[in-house]
Amino acid sequence: QVQLVESGGGSVPAGGSLRLSCAVSGITVRSSCMTWFRQAPGKEREGVQGFYTGGDIEYYRHSVQGRFFISQDDTRNTMYLQMNSLKPEDTAMYYCAAARCVRGWGDFWDVGSKYPYWGQGTQVTVSS
């Protein structure tokens, strides 16, 4: 049984930082395609940053470039999202998602329907 459990969300002022964690069981982070998504109230879900460590492949949303960084801890089978210089527009529920990597994943890394495994989400609120 695959489980993803996010943590680390919270409320911070603009310019602050948070680190989200996604603890994974049932699959290996290193051998999976892992992506952070977010959804703000009244808006569609969007991919934030995705990676496949086994192939050293990473994708990210342009608006988070240089501010968000994805990493993993193989010993803990956990994925992280370090978020710096947070902006009010980053306010959303953040979800981690996992899928078995397939050829062409880069063409749909930010398509939520391609991921069968999801966490419950963690709220990030950035005040101006």
Both tokens of residue 42? 């009244």
pLDDT mean over 29-46: 95
Q: What is the pLDDT of residue 52?
A: 86
Confidence of residue 17 (pLDDT cuts 50, 70, 90): very high
Q: What is the pLDDT of residue 111?
A: 94
pLDDT mean over 60-80: 94
Separation of alpha carbons 100 and 43, rounded Å: 27
Calculate the alpha carbon distances from 74 to 38, 70, 80, 90, 98 in Å. 24, 13, 11, 27, 15
Mean pLDDT value across the chain: 94
Confidence of residue 102 (pLDDT cuts 50, 70, 90): confident
